[in-house]
Amino acid sequence: MTHDANCIFCKIIAGQIPSRKAYEDEELLAFHDINPWAPVHVLIIPKAHVATLSDTGPEHAAMLGRMLALAPRLMAELGVTSGYRTVINTGPDGGQEVYHLHMHVMGGPRPWLKG
């Protein structure tokens, strides 16, 4: 599994930076965002360091599918019943701030209308 010693998400995976975990297995970690845009806002990340969605290929298809399939399960477990939003920001023009692939899953009343 690849890691980047300078990546904040790799440090969270390694336990060097604390997080409020929502889910973890051998391949994925989900944790609550420290600056939430919605009442429920979790990030789902692969444990292997992949910088952006553009850096994925056919070999990542199963992992990407598992990330997407985890979203509804987590939202249900966290009490979100009226819908949620999934977002993967990619690259500078896509608004990506941390260069470790991550999917935002935001639930609750109209989470995209943060002021």
Model pLDDT for residues 63-104, shown as the tens digit of each residue:
999 999 999 999 999 999 889 999 999 999 999 999 999 999
Name the token pair of 58.
Answer: 């056919």
Domain extent at residue 30: 8-113
Cβ partners under 8 Å of residue 90, min gap 6: 52, 53, 54, 96
Q: Strands of 28-108 (E only): list them.
A: 28-32, 40-46, 84-87, 103-107
3-state SS, residue 22: strand
Please report the pLDDT score of residue 112 as a whole number.
Answer: 56
How many domains does one find in the chain? 1
Model pLDDT for residues 32-46, shown as the tens digit of each residue:
999 999 999 999 999
The CATH number that applies at residue 66 is 3.30.428.10
- Integer Cα distance of 105 and 40 in angstroms: 8
Task: Give pTM, 2 decimals.
Answer: 0.93
What residues are labeled active site?
102
Name the token pair of 7.
Answer: 């990546």
* Residue 107 belongs to some domain of the structure: yes
- Integer Cα distance of 106 and 89 in angstroms: 14
* Residue 2 belongs to some domain of the structure: no
* Residue 92 belongs to some domain of the structure: yes
Please report the pLDDT score of residue 115 as a whole number.
Answer: 56
Average pLDDT in the 48-67 region? 98
The amino acid present at 89, given as its one-letter code, is N
